Structure 1
Amino acid sequence: MISVLYIDDDFGLLERFQNSLEGSGYFAVDTGRSTQEARKRLGQTAYDAIISENAPPTIDGIQLLREIKNSSPSLPFIFFTRENAGEVILDALNTGADFYQRKGEAPETQFAGLAIRISSLVNSRQSARLEGHLARLYRILSQINTASASLRNRNTLMEEACRVAVHDGGFLMVWIGLIHRDTGWFEPVAYCNRTGDRLDALSPRDDTLLVDAAPTSIAIRRGLYYASTDNRHDPRLAPWRTQLLANGFVSSAAFPLRIGNRVIGAMTFHAGEPAFFSEEEIQLLSEMTDNLSLAFELMEKEYSIAELTRLSDALQLANKKLNLLSNITRHDTLNQLTALGGYIELARMHATDSVMLEYIGKEDRAVESIRQQITFTREYQDIGVQAPIWQNVQEVVKRAIGTASMGQITVRSEPGTIEIFADPLLEKVFFNLLENTKNHGKTATRMKITARESDEGLVITCEDDGDGVPENEKENIFNRKFYKNTGFGLFLSREILAITAIQIRETGETGRGARFEIIVPKEKFRAPPLKGIR
């Protein structure tokens, strides 16, 4: 059944159109007689297509089209109007109208044509939408399967699953809750939210959840998935509807997580549009959560070491092949860039026209930009290739200091004997921080590296007495597109640390020096036993 909203100031035509299309049995038609009524209906119901007259001021079809395309760019919109002005037609089509039909003397015949046009537009939109959703879901299914094979820590796996589902799957929020084995409480343990907000909306130690009790509780108590295609109208979500919609959650689904036949928790997905969960998507999400359940079971029973090792070896082999191909491609590309740079220099030597010299300068800068990008791929490809290991922070820092040329800047390293669980490229992180002080500290004369425990875990502080980082750049310095002399160092540092859920932030005061804090989760650091003591 295709749902259509038709807006027109002609009551008789509205009624005839509604009777004509609904009489076919394939359409459900709502009508309205003004732009204001259209907005009200759109806020209450999700439609498959919109048809509108353009009769200002009662019906401002062009403005209504703009509003709809801003919120739902792919929603089909058809103008069915008495107007035949070329400017109006052009404005409508440029604004995103899918079709423009002028009213004629035989409306029933035009209704039949519009029905065919609507069906075609809606089917095309749904097919494209489904293909896009399924492509994203296949991608996250592949990534989560890879994570299930490579990650040994259940919490890390759950955090990665939520992160991938939001960043690559198109969901607004995904979270996982587990039933505590001793207390029986249902507790949120991992989540990812596109807005970055904390999971304060949930009540962790209760039988009900403040946000999405119906989908999640059904998944837990019955061991069945539950999907709400439209949270605005699902009667089971009435107590939580206001809060769900305030967060932008228009459709939701929850899937049980098991170890054997025992339900241990649920994974809940929230989307920002209605009817997000088709049968095909539910099947893929069920497969994904089943694979997560299997990974949890293998972790708990600890009988799958040989199989996990085989999968890890296969992934490492695939990574080696990809890295080899990347190295070959990068080498050949850099050779071509070198040749191109030579030709640019020859052109500069023979050019006399100032405009031509300006163009040659731009070409030279473009070549250098490409070279930096390629150099970045060489550094980035090694992240995550080797399994994380326990590393002594003091020893890693000493190696980094030995590699960096700090000139007149003195470095004091006092992290103690702490070891952290991190990617083998951890030394690169400290090297980048040392380089950052050397290249951007300007007035820096000393740098200190210390470690302390806090409620967040272990905080490793790297601070200097230089100029510091401007307040408006504190987050941007970790962005891949924000780099100065050191290239992509801080972006790479964050990526390396994120492999084992370690965070990095800049908390210094402008004018008083830069201060980088590396926050290591509690389960990712340890104090090794003293030699001679068992």
Structure 2
Amino acid sequence: MSKIKVLAVDDEPYLLDLTKIFLENDPRIIVDLAGSGQEALSLVGTTFYDCLISDYQMPTMDGLELLKALRSSGWDVPFILFTGKGREDVAVNALNLGASFYLQKGGGVEAQFTELANMVRRSAEIYRSKRELEESENRFRNLLQQSSDFILIIDSEGFINYCSSSVKRILGCCEEEMLGKNVFDLIHPGDVEEMRARLDHVKRNERRGDPVEFRMLTASGECSPMEAVGSNMLNVPSVEGLVITVRPITERKKAENDLRESEETYRTLFEQSPFPIALCALDGTFVDVNEKYLQIAGTKKESIMGKGAMELGYVGPKDFHIISEAFLDGEGVIDQHPVDIGSPGGEVLKMLLSSRLIKYRGEPHIINVLNDVTDLIRAQEALELKNEELNEERNRLQMITDQSPGVVYQLFLKDDIPRFIFVSKGAELFVDVPTDKWLNDPSWMFDRMLPEERDRFLEAMRISERSGQTCRHEFLLRDFDGTVRWILNTSSMSQKRDGGTVWTGTLTDITERKRSEDAVKQVNRQLSLMSSITRHDCLNKIVATEGYIDLATKGIEDDATIDLLDKAQRSIEAIRSEMDLTHDLQELSDHDAQWVRIRDTIPEMVSQHPVRIPEALHQLEVFSNPMLPKVFINLVDNSLRHGVNATDLWIEYAEAPEGLTIAFNDNGVGIPPTDKERIFYRGYGKNTGLGLFLVREVLKLTNISIIENGSEGQGARFELKVPPGSYRFTDLQ
């Protein structure tokens, strides 16, 4: 027990000293002294005392005035009036004003002060007990007011006799409003029956301390989840009721719902994850795995629970040791660690393992996520092998390119300005231009061309870009010494970028070939001239011979002689026919192949008979002999002469990787299967004209083939096969 602090007040100093001496003989008592009431008031304002002893008769302020002043200020410390006055009215007034004891001075000093010390101890003990009780009540009251719970005391029928003030914060109504209400009227109807049953248990002192959840109505009329615990104190005199502690659990229920939803979400993610996931204890035994892991393992969940990956043969001791070391070194973290996992089929799967240390049901566990990269690694290996093959192919192509007699190039064309971005090693040998000038000077090649050659060069590339066909263009290029050479450009557009086009192709020197062609043409012209002179002379002699035969026939009546003259005439006509054929063949050889526009043949073709022609063919050009228009005219004439009842003529076309097919059709009688090839034989048929024999010869000069592919009785169908690079579609008008 702490020491008792006493303030003694008296206007007689010797009495104060004497009081201090006697009282402090008890080591538990400490005495302070004050010579007047005013001084005492000053001291009690700054110092705590367990008891105050005061004389009655003092100047300025007597003992009763001091007591009255202290009690008016709320000072409730025990007050002992110690006075020489023995008047009864003083004692009564002192006790009425709140004095704890009244002690009259006189008699034996030791006995008197012993009694005073007893009074001090008793009053201090009572005061301290009172204060402790008040503080305890205040603490309890504050706890109740600030508590997240509220307390009800109800009778056996459920009527509320007491309610703690914290109900205001929880239900929104004050305790006075709760008194007298029946607690079941505040409970959700759906929970009343259960709460009555639980209250009966409390009455019978059964299931003590078991909480029960229910819904309770608030002042706003809403239902709030609560949890209650009841205690039977009906037989406790100071209570005489059932004590119910009620706690709101809205936040807890929300947390429980959130936790349940979170667990459901993570369980769904766990089960539906495309990655194998395993939850393991710290010793490596399986606690849970998802469906993807079971697919990889090829087993059922119950077969692996409680067992380890090494025990099941999924990983070997070496890998298990490496993984364990990596996990410890990473302080409970593994990221993308390569590991081999054995599958039931004996295949070794390449995996990347990521692990984390987590809390599961309050205990440390390891969550392992596997990423199957077996297919990725195989793809990478296949890609590396393909890259090696591509490198080998690139090296072979580089070797071929470097050894090419011409120039292999890539060219970027923008705004009609060509810029080389790659040239093969033979570029410097091809023309007297160093490689850096090929690549850095975009104008050098055009500067070496004749102006008209530049326009034709660009136009050929534009036509190729529009048609999608390979560009084949011959042009003249001047050497540094002024020598002019023929160059063949063969190229294709490979891509579009940066507002221009990229072309890949070759430049080939065809000067010698052109010279040879010119020489052949010169010889052909000489042969043609000689043939023309010879043919002219022969025709004159044939005409003279026919005249003589005609004159001889008129003067002879002998049938045998006339028969001989007829045979001679037919021989002369055969000679004339052979000479006409040689003339036609000569005419074919006199013309160079060139781009022929199909639309140029349409007017003359349609003039013989209406022919249905696709609009796209108006933009078609074919690299062929200039006599190509006569081919189509001959086909129209052939249908009209031999189709018997042909009334509809039309042309179709189709593109394929192997080239372009142009089909000429009619709805006539068609051609028998036995004659499909014979119609192209020399001398087949009886009519004059170009004939299908010469049609095939004309087309054959530029590798264009022709066959008859119709059906007898349904019409003829002549199909012309034009190889790739020998046709193009243009938008020229």
TM-score normalised by structure 1 residue count:
0.41
Q: Which has the higher strand share?
A: 2
Larger Rg: 2
Q: Which has the higher helix share?
A: 1
